[in-house]
Amino acid sequence: MSAGRSSPFAGRRVAITGASGSLGRELLRAFHSCGASLVALTTSSEPLQLMSASGDPIPLEQRSWRCGQEAELSELLSHIDILVINHGINAHADRSAAALERSLEVNALSSIRLLELFASAAQDPNGSVKPGPGEPPRREVWINSSEAEILPAVSPLYEISKRLLGQLISLRAFDLAGPKLRIRRLVLGPFRSNLNPIGVMGAAFVAQAVLRLAAWDWGLIIVTPNPLTYVLMPLVALIRWIYMGLFSRPGHQSPA
């Protein structure tokens, strides 16, 4: 990813969950090389220290969080331009009730809660007006699901929880995405990490490809060696959009 002030991410404040994981670290490095300022959201108590390609320490603010306690991030999120929801777990072959609960909570429900929180932080009480010339670009949330959303990943609970995440994003995007908030999806193929030690791609390659495609203004960011995903994912997204658009309504806001 080319460095510098020409990047659309230069000067933007970016927060990333799952920051100490393989992709989290590489996304932080890639955003740093674009000139973004960084907030690492992590469940780890270890200080996160990252070096740039030139060997200099990367300046970042580190903030702890826990699934179920997303609301504690409200204040922080109101000062973030781009939130990357990247955390995730893989229960592999485990199909126990505990694994089911954890997978749904971590992979789907906490991500959706963060999306809702960030969306409400992005809303301007004065109404939804497109940013004019000179106004800051709209805020963005990038949500990392997986091609496991639509294809087998030899991990049934992982597939189920990522599919749920993808479907909930499609459903809520009708009401949350707009002039104030852009939702981008990351649909990634297998890369090497704690979660998937035998992935074929490297996390650094994936992070750089994600930022390159985002800089090209893509909203559905697919990075995978599997050609089927490039065909199926847009089709699935389109079918969901038609179906959910036909059979769902915004509903009523409950009074504050």
Ligand X SMILES: NC(=O)c1ccc[n+]([C@@H]2O[C@H](COP(=O)([O-])OP(=O)(O)OC[C@H]3O[C@@H](n4cnc5c(N)ncnc54)[C@H](OP(=O)(O)O)[C@@H]3O)[C@@H](O)[C@H]2O)c1
- 84 sits near ligand X (criterion: CB under 6 A): no
- Tell me the C-alpha distance between 42 and 62, whole Å: 7
- Supply 29's token pair: 């490095």
- 89 sits near ligand X (criterion: CB under 6 A): yes
Residue 158 appears among annotated catalytic residues: yes
Looking at residue 147, what DSSP letter applies? Answer: G
If the CB atoms of residues 196 and 208 are measured against ligand X, the closer one turns out to be 196
Q: Which stretch binds ligand X (CB under 6 A): 76-84, 115-123, 189-197, 231-239?
A: 189-197
User: Going residue by residue from 190 to 229, which x/- string records binding to ligand X, judged by CB under 6 A?
Assistant: xx-xxxx--x---x--------------------------
Among 19, 60, 121, 177, binds ligand X (CB under 6 A): 19
If the CB atoms of residues 18 and 156 are measured against ligand X, the closer one turns out to be 18
Measured from the CB of residue 105, what is the shortest distance to ligand X in angstroms?
8
Cβ contacts of 87-90, under 8 Å, gap ≥ 24: 87/17, 87/18, 87/21, 87/24, 87/41, 87/43, 87/111, 88/18, 88/144, 88/146, 88/162, 88/195, 89/195, 90/155, 90/158, 90/195, 90/196
Contact 89, 108 (CB under 8 A): no
In the numeric block, the tokens 């109404």 are attached to: 127
Catalytic positions, please? Answer: 158
**Contact residues for ligand X (CB under 6 A)?**
18-24, 42-44, 67, 86-89, 106, 144, 146, 188, 190-191, 193-196, 199, 203
